[in-house]
Amino acid sequence: MASNTPKAGPTGNGPIRVVIADDHPVVREGLRITFRRPGIAVVGEAATGSEAVERVRELRPDVILMDIRMPDLDGLEATAIVKEEAPSTSVIIITSHESKDHLRRAIEAGAAGFILKGMSRDALIEAVKLVKGGGSIIDAKLLAELLQEMGSGESHFRGDSEGDLEALSPREQEVLQQVAGGLTNKEIARQIHCSVGTVKNVIQRIIEKLGVSDRTQAAVLAARAGLLAN
């Protein structure tokens, strides 16, 4: 169900606009209470996968927290639709069980990653802030391993992004390759002999040029185009 929050699109200076999608009312209530603080606004809720898609169409949130198991359309299917229609919205999958297969499928669908139900309030808030800022909530080395699987054809990953990558400068392509290779910002800064702040700025430009929502999906595009280190 949508809230009475104004339906303006996301802005750079306003609060992070969040939609919560989970078929359990108690879970939604708990998350809504967790995010009841300055800088974050829960603008809508959904109890099914189809409702989640409709909330995104209607509200264009910055972030949607998406349960995997929901009626009529599961969270991964809903994520794929959301990312097709609203690529600037970051999707965080919320789940009760940690699974590498679920993580791989979530990334393939377009998610920024997933978090476990029951994690601390501070960790939930940090995760939302991180993806809104273009960061990744997935361990860099694990992400690199998953991307290698995608690039090797061992997954159902699909698409063609070479044209998107042509918009990047040689330096930006180099940094993107290092992101996809599992390097942290600090490690990248050492590799290209610049400050961590400069690396963050380069990654933000990459995200903007590729039209993706976060670092994870920028790295996925690199895997899709074969821009992975050997």
3-state DSSP percent of the chain in helix, strand and coil, to 5: 50, 15, 35
Residue 8 lies in a domain: no
Mark whether 193 and 90 lie in a shared domain: no
pLDDT of residue 151: 64
Mark whether 129 and 152 lie in a shared domain: no
2: DSSP letter? B
Residue 182 lies in a domain: yes
Biggest CA–CA distance in the chain, Å, is 51
pLDDT, average across residues 113-134: 89
pLDDT of residue 229: 59
pLDDT, average across residues 211-217: 87
Residue 78 lies in a domain: yes
Mark whether 163 and 119 lie in a shared domain: no
Q: In this model, does residue 140 exceed pLDDT 80? A: no
Each residue's pLDDT tens digit, 155-181: 443 344 445 788 899 999 999 999 888
Mark whether 79 and 149 lie in a shared domain: no
Mark whether 120 and 146 lie in a shared domain: no
pTM above 0.85, yes or no: no
Q: In this model, does residue 92 exceed pLDDT 90? A: yes
Mark whether 35 and 121 lie in a shared domain: yes
Mark whether 20 and 78 lie in a shared domain: yes
Which of 136, 147, 42, 37 is CA-nearest to residue 100? 147
Instruction: Residue 211: give its domain's CATH number.
Output: 3.40.50.2300
Contact partners, residue 81, CB within 8 Å, separation at least 6: 53, 73
129 by Cβ neighbours in 10 Å (0-12 / 13-18 / 19+) ranks as middle
Give the tokens for residue 98: 């940690």
CA–CA gap between residue 143 and residue 180 (Å, rounded): 7
The residue count of the chain comes to 230
Mark whether 123 and 68 lie in a shared domain: yes
- List phi, psi (to 5°) of 42: -80, 110
Residue 188 lies in a domain: yes
Mark whether 150 and 71 lie in a shared domain: no
pLDDT, average across residues 180-206: 91
CA atoms within 13 A on the CB side of 229: 13
pLDDT, average across residues 182-187: 88
CA atoms within 13 A on the CB side of 220: 26
pLDDT, average across residues 54-67: 96
CA–CA gap between residue 92 and residue 79 (Å, rounded): 9
Mark whether 213 and 192 lie in a shared domain: yes
**Structural domain range at position 63:** 16-133
